[in-house]
Amino acid sequence: MSTRYSRVGRPRPAGRGLELAIWFMMRLTGLGLFVLALTHFMITHVLYDPAEQTASWIAQVRWSSLFWRVFDWLLLMLVLFHGFMGVRTVIVDYASGRARRVLVIGLYLIALVLFVLGTTVVTTLPVVPKA
């Protein structure tokens, strides 16, 4: 199997399979996380006073907007995908045989549960009327 080596990071996988798709997605989610995390930091620590940001403030002000729910959901999903695919890469690199299969299936199950829980929370959290 031929592999192109880069100076930094994991080498680009040869071929057109799942590994190449995950390799590209890791780069795209990393870039997306960079932008979203900096935006999140600017909003929560520069635009608004952190001392005023309580749970009720988040529910009343921030999460009353569909834009912020989508923003926070997207940030959460990118973090989960990027993190779990990174752990998957480590498992594939260092485990073999039955252990690899069990670990990857377990990882996917945990990821699925967290994706469902995160989506459920973001979509079903009630909008609290402003006092």
- The overall pTM is greater than 0.75: yes
pLDDT in tens, 68-93: 889 999 999 999 999 999 999 899 88
Q: What three-state secondary structure class fits 4? A: strand
Under 8 Å between Cβ of 68 and 62: yes
Mean pLDDT of 97-106: 95
pLDDT in tens, 17-67: 888 888 889 999 999 999 999 999 998 888 878 788 887 777 777 888 888
Tokens of 28: 């795209």
Domains annotated on the chain, with CATH: 18-124 (1.20.1300.10)
- The DSSP line for 34-103 is HHHHHHHHHIIIIIS-GGG--HHHIIIIITTSHHHHHHHHHHHHHHHHHHHHHHHHHHHHH--HHHHHHH
